[in-house]
Amino acid sequence: MENLKIAWRNLWRNRKRTLITVASVFFGVIVSTFMSSMQEGSYSTMVDNVVKFYSGYIQVQNEDYWDHKTINNTIKLTDELLKKVSSSDRVSYVVPRLESFALASTNDQSRGTILIGIDPAKEEQMMGIGKWLSSGKILLPGDDGILLAAGLADYLKLGLNDTLVLLGQGYHGLSAAGKYPVKGIIDLPSPDLNRQLVYMDLENCQEFFSAEGLVSSLIVMLDSPYDLPHARRVLNKKIKSPYTLMTWDEMQPEFVQMIEADRAGAVVMKGILYLVIGFGILGTISMMLAERRREMGVLVAIGLQRAKLGLILFYETVFIGLTGVLSGFMGSIPLISYFYNNPVKLTGDAAETMIEMGLEPNMYFSWIPSVFYNQVITVFIITFLIGIIPVANSFRLTLAKALRA
């Protein structure tokens, strides 16, 4: 305890030097936390868009469906299956979908489309389809019309109440054809989906494909993204052949690889930042050792053990790091809290790039605990390692040279 008091008093003998070093650690923690929060917030937003707009967290499918996405590899939607999935731990709700391909035609235009049969109420709960409605009305259960993506509507030159002809192949090779009025047009943030998506009420879609009672997947939504591993373990025990489970990352491997590659690049940037912090602390400690060499020589000459001297110097270094880290942690909380609740709206080329990637033109921040404690732990470890240097220096101290310093 006495050594700790001595180390703390020694720090404030040169207040300016100590405050400058603490400030370097403080701003290092702030900047690294800000970078991590912005990075993780962007990833969370991207994952959230993928999950809510298309895949969900988990899908229950026919075990042959993912490799051969045909209407023949669908599953029977039974009350027993629906109850088994929806009653599982951490599952928030379940969304049935029937998805296949069809040719959309007008008088002089045609294009291949993704036709998705939806439960309108469940789909509104999942992706808030109403907020993307640019004109018209959202579908209601039993509606005989369709919702058309804005890009596809522009290509086919269709407006509200115009008629769209759909042609396709139904269940077990039956022909599928029908005419449907456009009830609404939705402007989705994903350019790919905006060019080819058609929504239809689930029962009408089943009738179109002659696939009564069938769905291509049950989309499982969870209480939290962090519940995914647990929910999958629970569902794996309940769901057996001919059904299988697919998680969002298994369905989007390219997307996961893109995030991992970007995360690796960010590690390099933060590594450079940590080096700057480390050399800043090291420079201060080296200066302190040089200025106090005569003092340390006198202390050893009058009988102070080198081990005790080294321990005091080590405590000084740790105190500098601990003070900077804790103040940086406390300072980062209100900063990240502000940006978490007030996302940065992008403009110009940056906004256009985000929109082309299928993302909202906002810079989101994350509030997950790892954003904070990872930076605190990393910077403190750097300080702890640098603290070994004065300990080693105290044992290498040459008494004659130190007294003449």
User: In the chain, pLDDT over 70 holds for what percent of residues?
Assistant: 97
The predicted pLDDT at position 177 comes to: 92
Distance in angstroms (rounded) separating the CA atoms of residues 37 and 340: 9
The predicted pLDDT at position 99 comes to: 93
Report pLDDT digits (tens) over 260-280: 888 888 888 888 888 887 887
Select the more confidently predicted residue: 277 or 338.
Answer: 338
- CB burial of residue 318 (10 Å; 0-12, 13-18, 19+): middle
Q: Above 80 in pLDDT, residue 32?
A: yes
Mean pLDDT of the chain: 86
Distance in angstroms (rounded) separating the CA atoms of residues 327 and 244: 50
Distance in angstroms (rounded) separating the CA atoms of residues 351 and 362: 8
The predicted pLDDT at position 150 comes to: 92
The predicted pLDDT at position 402 comes to: 63
The predicted pLDDT at position 35 comes to: 86
Residue 42 is inside which H or E element, if any? helix 15-50
Alpha helix segments (H runs only) across 73-115: 79-86
The predicted pLDDT at position 184 comes to: 94
> Tokens 């070994």 map to which residue?
388
Q: Above 80 in pLDDT, residue 3?
A: no
Select from 244, 245, 221 the least CA-distant residue to 48: 221
The predicted pLDDT at position 302 comes to: 81
Q: Could you tell me the pLDDT band of residue 256, with boundaries at 50, 70 and 90?
A: confident
Delimit the domains of the chain by residue range: 2-50+255-404, 64-240
The predicted pLDDT at position 357 comes to: 62
Quick one: average pLDDT of 18-34? Answer: 85
Q: Could you tell me the pLDDT band of residue 22, with boundaries at 50, 70 and 90?
A: confident
Max mean pLDDT among 188-192, 215-219, 226-230, 263-267 falls in 215-219
**139 φ/ψ angles, rounded to the nearest 5 degrees:** -70, 150
Q: Is residue 2 helix, strand or coil?
A: helix
Select the more confidently predicted residue: 76 or 173.
Answer: 76
Select from 122, 154, 120, 118 the least CA-distant residue to 137: 120
pTM of the model: 0.75
The predicted pLDDT at position 355 comes to: 66
The predicted pLDDT at position 112 comes to: 92
The predicted pLDDT at position 49 comes to: 77
Q: Above 70 in pLDDT, residue 359?
A: no
Report pLDDT digits (tens) over 71-128: 999 999 998 999 999 988 889 999 999 999 999 998 888 999 999 999 999 988 888 8
Q: Above 70 in pLDDT, residue 251?
A: yes
The predicted pLDDT at position 119 comes to: 92
Q: Above 60 in pLDDT, residue 352?
A: yes
Quick one: average pLDDT of 138-145? Answer: 88
Select the more confidently predicted residue: 264 or 171.
Answer: 171
Q: Above 80 in pLDDT, residue 403?
A: no
